Amino acid sequence: MDEPTAVNRRDFFGKLGVSVGAAGLVGAGAVMAPPLLRAAETPKGKIPDTPFRTGHMTFLSGPAAVLGEPSLKGHTLAAEEINAQGGFLGKRKIETVTADEAAGTDANVKELRRMKLSEKIDLFTGVISSGNSPALGPVAEELGCLTIFTDGCTDFLFDKAVPNPKYVFRVTNIQSADGITAALGTAQAWPNVRKIAHLHPDYSYGRNAAEHFSLALERLIPGVQTVSENWPALGTSDFTAHITKILSAEPDLLFTSVWGGDYVAFYKQAIRYGLFDKMKVSTTLALGVAPHAIGKDHPEGVLAGVHSNYHFTYPTGNRWPLNKAFVERYYKRWNEYPNFQSDGAYTALYMLKSAIERANKLVGGWPEEEAIISQLEGLGYDAPSGYVYIRPDNHQGYKDAVIGFSKNLPEYPFPVWDPDRIITIPIRNITAPPNWPKPGTSHNESTAAANWLKTTWPKVAT
């Protein structure tokens, strides 16, 4: 295929629907009352009162628990709210079995089998690491276990591990959106950067974040070059060697996908070396941790990613009352603010609730899994983060991508997003469309998204 014709940067941003500012909700549906306030409809047919058993796996220990604990809290809040209404269809209350994802991939696979075969779970949710979802997805399909991943965002899950899913769904944005969103934010804010340093965890998430960012940025800012690559192991606590290597390369910008407790350790050490004063910093997950885990010492003006998914200050209350109500309920329950993991785990149970109710209207009684699956496919839902859509062809959840710039505001004891510098991008414009060729022997790209970027994105005219 011929190389796409070069375009003007401003025109290209316009075609992608990139928006900067507090307004947004490009793809949102109608604003609805918070779930807890919606009137319950009488279900059709006879509904059993046996508990609905859910297995929720997330990091409950180690550095990644700064993401895992909010995930469980979001799940728990949704379960408590649904159970207060009697449970699914007013009869089946949710019971949750938990597992610590920190046990490792092999142990996690065994635990999923145990949950399904011994605990008799009806649903499996959770999972944070991109190293775990591709291992668990095929097992869930083999067991016939209805699964809604709330993260584990890697493109590999549906590109390769489960290319034709039946039981497996995911509500978080696909990982390729992470790198592309950060690249768009970088090019919009700092079009003059040329020398790029990289700092990424040395496994699939970091490798793919670096690839998607680089593929997008070299089209948005022709002439950029990588001057330093750093690949710390996941769980690294001492970043000194990486920081000094980055500083010696004298980059214009550092791009990092280090996350969780690792990012907290990195930024605090980087401050001591003056790194943030010497270069721009763009991230995929700077503010993706629990909000209170980031201190007031965090520099302002960092392009602070949240996995392209959700920050509790956006959408704002007057624009999206669903988020305002969710944040208030979450804070009242846990005395802290939610993060994107909280939103994802919370939304997963409510999307399932919606699918069950839709299926009940069609068939009556408690719907079989086939009927529930049919209603999850193509389901659109107004969540705290905005409008979420489950694409029927690959069971992947999509919502408009968001990223912002760190700023200290007086009303919070930690940095949040600058309300005037929030970037929103319609997810459909940065994601490979349905039926785009998946990675295989015909090309060398790691993901369909990488192939789509190379094939369809023009280079911006210099």
* H/E element, 169: strand 168-170
Query: Is the predicted pLDDT of residue 15 greater than 70, yes or no?
Result: yes
Question: What whole-number percentage of the chain has pLDDT above 70?
Answer: 93
Do residues 383 and 347 touch, judged by C-beta distance below 8 A?
yes
Query: What angle, rounded to 10 degrees, do the helices at 176-189 and 448-456 form?
Result: 40
Count the neighbouring beta carbons within 10 Å of the beta carbon of residue 202: 13
Query: In the structure encoding, which two tokens stand for residue 233, read together?
Result: 């192991």
The predicted-structure confidence for 109-138, as pLDDT tens digits, reads as follows: 999 999 999 999 999 999 999 999 999 999
* 185-to-169, 191, 376 alpha-carbon distances in Å: 28, 10, 32
Query: Is the predicted pLDDT of residue 281 greater than 90, yes or no?
Result: yes
Query: Is the predicted pLDDT of residue 401 greater than 60, yes or no?
Result: yes
Query: What angle, rounded to 10 degrees, do the helices at 321-334 and 65-84 form?
Result: 100
Per-residue model confidence (pLDDT) at position 35 = 47
How far apart CA 272 and CA 305 sit, in angstroms, is: 22
Per-residue model confidence (pLDDT) at position 245 = 98
How far apart CA 388 and CA 281 sit, in angstroms, is: 29
Task: Give me the residues paired with residue 383 across strands.
Answer: 386
Do residues 228 and 213 touch, judged by C-beta distance below 8 A?
no
Instruction: Categorize the per-residue pLDDT at 38 as very low, low, confident or very high, splitting at 50, 70 and 90.
Output: low
Query: In the structure encoding, which two tokens stand for residue 404, read together?
Result: 């912002």
**At a CB cut-off of 8 Å and minimum separation 6, what does 28 contact?**
315, 320, 382, 386, 387
How far apart CA 380 and CA 101 sit, in angstroms, is: 29
Query: In the structure encoding, which two tokens stand for residue 278, read together?
Result: 């010497």
Per-residue model confidence (pLDDT) at position 440 = 60
Per-residue model confidence (pLDDT) at position 279 = 98
Query: Is the predicted pLDDT of residue 329 greater than 90, yes or no?
Result: yes
Please state the pTM of the whole predicted model: 0.93
Query: Is the predicted pLDDT of residue 406 greater than 80, yes or no?
Result: yes
Q: What is the rounded average pLDDT for all residues in the chain?
A: 92
The predicted-structure confidence for 18-34, as pLDDT tens digits, reads as follows: 888 755 554 444 333 34
Per-residue model confidence (pLDDT) at position 32 = 39
The predicted-structure confidence for 206-240, as pLDDT tens digits, reads as follows: 999 999 999 999 999 999 999 999 999 999 999 99
Query: Is the predicted pLDDT of residue 379 greater than 50, yes or no?
Result: yes
Cα 27 to its chain centre, rounded Å, is 17
SS3 275: helix
Per-residue model confidence (pLDDT) at position 1 = 40
Per-residue model confidence (pLDDT) at position 66 = 92
Q: Of 148, 75, 71, whose CA–CA distance to 102 is shortest? A: 71
The predicted-structure confidence for 333-351, as pLDDT tens digits, reads as follows: 999 999 999 999 999 999 9
Query: Is the predicted pLDDT of residue 147 greater than 70, yes or no?
Result: yes
Do residues 329 and 100 touch, judged by C-beta distance below 8 A?
no
Instruction: Categorize the per-residue pLDDT at 186 as very low, low, confident or very high, splitting at 50, 70 and 90.
Output: very high
Per-residue model confidence (pLDDT) at position 56 = 98
Per-residue model confidence (pLDDT) at position 31 = 36
Upstream peptide bond of 315 is cis (omega within 30 degrees of 0): yes
How far apart CA 436 and CA 441 sit, in angstroms, is: 15
DSSP string, 93-160: -EEEEEEEGGG-HHHHHHHHHHHHHTS--SEEEE---TTTHHHHHHHHHHHT--EEESS---THIIII
Query: Is the predicted pLDDT of residue 423 greater than 80, yes or no?
Result: yes
Instruction: Report the b/e string of 94-111 with b at 16+ CB within 10 A.
Output: bbbbbbbbbeeeeebbeb
Query: Is the predicted pLDDT of residue 258 greater than 80, yes or no?
Result: yes
Rounded to an integer, the average pLDDT of 408-418 is: 96
The predicted-structure confidence for 45-94, as pLDDT tens digits, reads as follows: 999 999 999 999 999 999 899 999 999 999 999 999 999 999 999 999 99
Rounded to an integer, the average pLDDT of 259-280 is: 97
Q: Of 90, 159, 102, whose CA–CA distance to 127 is shortest? A: 102
Per-residue model confidence (pLDDT) at position 24 = 53
